[in-house]
Amino acid sequence: MIKILRYTEYLYLAVALISIYKIATLWETDRQGTYIFIIFAVVSIGMFIFRRKYRKRFEKRQRDNQK
């Protein structure tokens, strides 16, 4: 279960990196179209941080319960 949570964190990070790449390539030609990618990048980075924080809290709680 915890390995799945770890992979989903990096999935959000991958979406953020792809969005940042699309922003960099489309910024000069289609500035209106890049705003959705900016939103995706910000939300994805936020979700990466959020999921990582709660996964670590969950792991700590499991370690404390096993002792």
25: enclosing H helix or E strand: helix 2-26
Looking at the whole model, is its pTM more than 0.85? no
Residue 57 inside a domain? The answer is yes
Residue 55 inside a domain? The answer is yes
Residue 66 inside a domain? The answer is no
Residue 45 inside a domain? The answer is yes
Q: What is the pLDDT along the chain (67 residues), one digit of tens a residue?
A: 667 777 888 999 999 999 999 999 999 998 898 999 999 999 999 999 999 999 889 889 988 888 6
- Residues 40-55: tens digit of each pLDDT: 999 999 999 999 999 8
Q: Number of C-alpha atoms within 13 angstroms, CB side, residue 26?
A: 15
Residues in the chain, overall count: 67
Residue 67 inside a domain? The answer is no
Number of domains in the chain: 1
Across the chain, which distance is largest between two alpha carbons, in Å?
58
pLDDT, residue 5, reads 74
In angstroms, the CA 25 to CA 31 distance is 10
